[in-house]
Amino acid sequence: MNKRTQRALPALLGLSSLGLSSLGLSSLGLAPGAAMAEAQPQPLDIYYIDVEGGQSTLFVAPGGESVLVDTGFPGSRDAGRIMEAVHAAGLKQIDYLLITHYHGDHIGGYQELSKLIPIRHLVDHGPTVQPEQNIASKQQWDADIQKSPHIVAKVGDKLPVKGLDWTIVSSAGKTLEANMAGAPGAGRRNPYCADYKPKQIDVDMENSQSVGSVISYGKFRTVDLGDLLWNWEAKLACPVNRIGTVDVFLTTHHGMSWSGVPALVYALQPRVVVMNTGTRKGGQVETFQMLESSPGLENLWQLHWAVNGGLEHNVPGVFIANLETAAITASVIANPPPPPVMGTRPPDIGNPDHSPAWWIKVSALPDGSFTVTNARNGFSKTYRHR
Ligand SMILES: [Zn+2]
């Protein structure tokens, strides 16, 4: 029995406590499953797993199918953290593993994870544009796509996850050129494009290949663009917003300023942003400032307190899943890090492991309402549908 079946039982008990059981479900003309589904729709659960400045996000669809987006860094740490979320969700397999791109902070944990749980379908953008970055997990991926069901995601494709509308909006350097059908705000001319300026970024171009997804469950919408770079994000928004508005936005590229173009984020009008920072990776001041002016944003939630953001820009601790030690926090406040230099790789300043590691969980319902929970302190907040 998985967790979803367990959650369905109280619904049955609720029916009998209302005295409906004595009527008999058949006399109401309802199959038992239909009565339960109408009484309480199952949520879409999203676990933003702490991989300290990489990405790993687990989607559990209302029907019980699962999609894992990325696997964090190499080694057993992040694979273990993914398995904690897998167990919490009651999963016995991962139905789709979508690798946004082949950098080590996204595909790194694949080799270890594949030993721990069956993975049914492998999804990627096709061949890498940085073959020199050929880590062990990528080598294993190349071998496994020869023998497992393999999907090369193309822009406009749908990932066939039961209960969700999962649309690919970027892949292999291409971006959606049509408006998303039926999406609120899609196809509108975007006034924020007036301030758009491209950035010259010509390193780590595998980022620009990222598989980006828009995921809908009824009226609830969220977007995950991997590490899609600034100029490619803008193609989704200028001159016309192709995606429309969303409820939850995962910061592109860990809140680094190579991504996070205001013309896109402001047009998406997210109510909630989750920033997948590590302590010392991502969470740059420019990105915080962009979000602080984002129209309609109700809360920013962070996977980590971000050294780069300092005292001024990190959100109140209740919204942060993983905190830094008091000594490091104090030293950073006294000696803020220098701003990053655009177009160069950030210095490898190390990311101390945090244990235990806490996730941020979103549970969404088809009416568009959703609840965000910080696993560290149990704080949760419900956002009613607009
Ligand atoms: Zn990354």
pLDDT digits (tens, 9 = 90+) for 106-140: 999 999 999 999 999 999 999 999 999 889 999 99
Cα(288) to ligand 1 centroid in Å equals 17
Cα(254) to ligand 1 centroid in Å equals 7
Cα(235) to ligand 1 centroid in Å equals 20
Instruction: Decide: residue 287, CB within 10 A, 0-12 exposed, 13-18 middle, 19+ buried.
Output: buried
Cα(275) to ligand 1 centroid in Å equals 12
Residues in the chain: 386
Residue 292, pLDDT above cutoff 90: yes
- Identify the pLDDT of residue 87: 98
Residue 144, pLDDT above cutoff 80: yes
The structure's pTM equals 0.88
Tokens of 275: 């920033």
Tokens of 199: 């950035």
User: Which three-class secondary structure string do you get for 258-275?
Assistant: CCCCHHHHHHHCCCEEEE
Strand 158-159 with 188-189, pairing: unpaired
Cα(6) to ligand 1 centroid in Å equals 36
Side chain identity, residue 235: K
Range 46-67 average pLDDT: 96
Cα(106) to ligand 1 centroid in Å equals 6
CATH code given to domain 44-379: 3.60.15.10
- Closest CA relative to residue 306, chosen from 295, 286, 224, 293: 286
At residue 218 the predicted structure's pLDDT band, cuts being 50, 70 and 90, is very high
pLDDT tens sequence across 336-358: 766 666 555 554 445 567 788 99
At residue 328 the predicted structure's pLDDT band, cuts being 50, 70 and 90, is confident
- Closest CA relative to residue 322, chosen from 289, 281, 284, 292: 281
Residue 247, pLDDT above cutoff 80: yes
Ramachandran class of 306: left when φ > 0, alpha when ψ lies in -120 to 50, beta otherwise: beta
Cα(207) to ligand 1 centroid in Å equals 8
- Identify the pLDDT of residue 315: 96
pLDDT tens sequence across 60-92: 999 999 999 999 999 999 999 999 999 999 999
Cα(328) to ligand 1 centroid in Å equals 24
Cα(367) to ligand 1 centroid in Å equals 32
